[in-house]
Amino acid sequence: MSTQYTVTATPQAEESGSVALAVASLPASFGPVAAGEAARISAIDGAAGWTTEAIKAIDGGASGIVVVNPVPENTAALLDAAEASGVAVVLDQRWASSPGLAGAEDAVRTVAGRAAMLDTVATAAAGTDPERLLTEHLAAVVRVTGQLDALRLLLRGAHGYAVSGRLANGAPVSLQGVLSNSRAAGVDFRLYTDDGGVSIAVPEPLAAWPAEVRATGQQGEILLPTLYESAHRTTWRRLKEHLDAGTLPSDLAGFARLTESIAHLS
């Protein structure tokens, strides 16, 4: 029989990560904490200081940790603590955790050698921290494309940002962030090739609204299979898989590379 893990969440993580909803949708995997017991899984918000909070959770005996929408921080100490204690730390990222990006990654990397340009726009509500949006945006992009080269900040202000870069084959990349209430929040990708390309639309992870991935080539346009699962639920399922297998995810190592890229833009 599969092990059920008890969960506790900070109020901020509960609000931003829809923890109760995600856990309730996986009742055989996760459950509430009984009176007098310590939870085995801790969900924390990814605001400044999240690495310190995660280390405290490890010291408190947590078996697994979910970090919701982490901001750039040095993860070295947390990675050491997690590896020493065998604790699985997964990052629930706004768009990068979308299950639809698995198919998008395959579609993009299949044509990466023929890429001519990548244009991508992330939209969030007015008043959103531009740096946090850029972190969430870039995390989704590099999951699909792999690491980008020659990243350069062109513009950053109260209404968004513009960043340029290059794909592995040298093709130009344009990342734009828009802070506005007149557009639905989400991130869109347009990868152009010599005979078509790939388009990706990833909505907010508030419900099981699916990402839409379309690949166009000589065969015409293909809509990849639609996955009706939220990014939050996908993150919790992934944590359960690591806990049951006794393996440690690579989230922190990948986020360290992302943090370094963001730091070089400042």
In which residue ranges of the chain is CATH 3.40.50.720 found? Answer: 5-95+231-265
Task: CATH 3.30.360.10 in the chain: give the residue spans.
Answer: 100-223
Residue 206 has pLDDT above 80, yes or no: no
Looking at the predicted structure, is the pLDDT value of residue 208 above 80? no
- In whole numbers, what is the pLDDT of the chain averaged over residues? 93
End-to-end CA distance of the chain: 50
DSSP line for 202-248: EE-TTS-PPPEEEEEETTEEEEPPP----HHHHHHHHHHHHHHHT--
> Does residue 193 sit in helix, strand or coil?
strand
Residue range 100-223 forms a domain whose CATH class is alpha beta
The answer on pLDDT for 1 being more than 60 is no
Q: How confident is the model at residue 13 (pLDDT cuts 50, 70, 90)?
A: very high
- C-alpha 31/C-alpha 7 separation (Å) is 6
Q: What is the pLDDT of residue 65?
A: 98
Q: Would you identify the CATH topology of the domain 5-95+231-265?
A: Rossmann fold (3.40.50)
> According to the model, what pLDDT value does residue 223 have?
83
Res 260: pLDDT:
93
pLDDT reading at 210 higher than 90: no
Mean pLDDT within 103-114: 90
Q: Give the angle 24-26-31 at the CA atoms, nearest 5°.
A: 60
Cβ contact 71:50 at 8 Å: yes
Token match 């990675």: residue?
A: 79
Find out whether 236 and 23 touch, Cβ atoms under 8 Å: yes
Per residue in 153-202, pLDDT (tens digit) is: 999 999 999 999 999 999 999 999 999 999 899 999 999 999 899 999 99
DSSP H/E element including 199: strand 196-203
- Reference 231, options 133, 134, 96, 128; nearest CA is 96
Q: Which of 35, 37, 33 is nearest to 7 (CA)?
A: 33
- The count of C-alpha atoms lying within 13 angstroms of the C-alpha of 212, restricted to the half-sphere facing its C-beta, is 8
Q: What is the mean pLDDT of residues 121-125?
A: 97
pLDDT tens by residue, 73-99: 999 999 999 999 999 999 999 999 999
Cα gap 134→119, rounded to integer Å: 14
d(CA 55, CA 176): 34
Grade residue 209 by pLDDT with cuts at 50, 70 and 90: confident
Span 188-203, pLDDT tens digits:
999 999 989 999 999 9
In this predicted structure, the answer to whether residue 266 has a pLDDT above a threshold of 70 is no
Dihedral sign from CA coordinates of 25, 49, 59, 250: positive
Percent above pLDDT 70 for the chain: 98
β 172-179/115-124 pair status: parallel
d(CA 225, CA 107): 12
Q: Three-class SS of residue 93?
A: coil
Spatial CA neighbour of 126 closest among 174, 177, 175, 69: 177
